[in-house]
């Protein structure tokens, strides 16, 4: 849960002293030059109940109450595969301590194999293909991450992936992985993943993800499998919606553990500097004995986020979130697991470069 000051120092050193040939967005890298981009992300969160142990339950990246935190400082280096390239994302902060390997979020080499329209092969460590939300808060509609993001799917993998444009509006990716959130495999089995990305219309996209493999080191009972569906729809220039649904299961000694949930998103952009987003989700971890269990059986949450961009490189977000349980699960001021809901207020600031 803690991050190393040395990591933060190294990240700052890289940002200040490295002199790449171009400074353009990682998403628009169009030349053979090595480009970089990055950000610093900090927040303050307050739990209205002031829980006894100071813990915000099920909040994977904001777990402690009444604290200022550096969520993540990150710098990304990219060389487009033409035909050989690479990507290196390094970071420091609370999020890095939870969802990265030391400083490394992603580190992989890429090669475009000249077969058909070109097979892109990435080998190394990369973020998971599962889920609608991502590790970087700036790239999500809400600041806090969903329960699905934190509990239903992995954060990252080490392995290889093979991507191919099947049609102009359909791409497929095969993933061969060491497992969930680990560099070295903890058993002799590989985990397989699949992504199908279909742009049904210019304003509608459907993504189907799957992952399956033995994740336990010992004793080994059966595979852990998760199926993930994402649908996004741009209704107007200002209004967008999305849904994300997950179903997972794993055979364990006590039986079949299952978890499932769904989240709906809506975002409205008022003008060039302000927008608002709402998320509502339901989550059920079934038997409550899986390695992915939150400790509660049935959860829901609703989050409202307002975003303001006074400058091109500054994002300020304010957020109110209510997490709810069907039984007393959240901590109260005087005793743990006495409340059925948890209301938090959060303010976050992100500086991009």
- Separation CA 269–CA 275 (nearest Å): 4
The parent domain of residue 197 ranges over: 5-352
pLDDT tens for the chain, 353 residues long, are 444 544 544 454 444 444 444 444 444 444 579 999 999 999 999 999 999 999 999 999 999 999 999 999 999 999 999 999 999 999 999 999 889 988 999 999 999 999 999 999 999 999 999 999 999 999 999 999 999 999 999 999 999 999 999 999 999 999 999 999 999 999 999 999 999 999 999 999 999 999 999 998 888 889 999 999 999 999 999 999 999 999 999 998 888 999 999 999 999 999 999 999 999 999 998 766 777 889 888 999 999 999 999 999 999 999 999 999 999 999 999 999 999 999 999 999 999 99
Q: Using an 8 Å Cβ cutoff, are 138 and 118 in contact?
A: no
- The helix/strand/coil state of 16 is helix
d(Cα 353, Cα 340) in Å, to the nearest integer? 41
Total structural domains within the chain: 1
Residues in the chain: 353
pTM: 0.90
Integer CA distances (angstroms), 121 to 30, 109, 158, in order: 18, 8, 13
Distance, in Å, from the CA atom of 231 to the CA atom of 99, rounded to the nearest integer, reads 25
Q: What is the DSSP track for 59-116?
A: -SS--BSSEEEEEEEEEEEEE--SSEEEEEEEEESHHHHHHSBTTEEEEEEEEEE-ST
Q: Measured between alpha carbons, how far is residue 6 from residues 91, 102, 141, 233, 258 in Å? A: 11, 11, 31, 43, 40
Is the separation of the CB atoms in 22 and 317 below 8 Å? Answer: no
CATH number for the domain that contains residue 257? 2.40.160.10
């Amino acid at each position: 849960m803690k991050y190393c000051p040395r990591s933060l120092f190294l990240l700052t050193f890289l940002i200040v002293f490295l002199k790449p040939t171009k400074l353009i967005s990682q998403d628009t890298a169009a030349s053979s030059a090595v480009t970089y981009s990055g950000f610093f992300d900090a927040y303050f969160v307050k739990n209205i109940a002031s829980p006894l142990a100071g813990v915000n339950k099920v909040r994977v990246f904001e777990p402690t109450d009444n604290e200022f935190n550096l969520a993540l400082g990150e710098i990304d280096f990219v060389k487009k595969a033409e035909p050989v390239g690479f990507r290196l994302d390094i970071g420091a902060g609370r999020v890095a301590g939870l969802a990265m390997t030391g400083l490394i979020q992603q580190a992989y080499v890429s090669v475009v194999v000249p077969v058909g329209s070109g097979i892109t092969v990435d080998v190394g460590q990369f973020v998971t293909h599962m889920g609608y939300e991502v590790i970087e808060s700036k790239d999500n509609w809400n600041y806090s991450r969903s329960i699905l993001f934190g509990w239903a799917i992995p954060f990252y993998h080490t392995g290889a992936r093979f991507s191919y444009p099947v049609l102009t509006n359909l791409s497929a990716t095969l993933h061969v992985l060491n497992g969930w959130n680990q560099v070295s495999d903890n058993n002799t089995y590989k985990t397989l993943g699949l992504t199908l990305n279909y742009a049904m219309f210019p304003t509608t996209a459907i993504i189907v993800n799957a992952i399956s493999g033995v994740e336990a080191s010992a004793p080994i009972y059966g595979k852990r499998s998760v199926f993930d569906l994402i649908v996004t729809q741009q209704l107007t220039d200002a209004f967008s919606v999305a849904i994300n649904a997950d179903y997972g299961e794993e055979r364990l000694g006590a039986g079949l553990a299952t978890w499932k949930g769904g989240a709906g998103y809506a975002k409205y952009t008022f003008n060039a500097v302000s927008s608002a987003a709402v998320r509502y989700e339901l989550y059920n971890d079934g038997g409550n004995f899986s390695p992915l269990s939150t400790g509660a059986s049935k959860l829901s949450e609703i989050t409202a986020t307002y975003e303001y961009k006074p400058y091109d490189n500054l994002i300020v977000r304010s957020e109110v979130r209510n997490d709810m349980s069907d039984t007393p699960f959240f901590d109260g001021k005087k005793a743990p697991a006495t409340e059925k809901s948890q209301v938090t207020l959060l303010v976050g600031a992100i500086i991009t470069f």
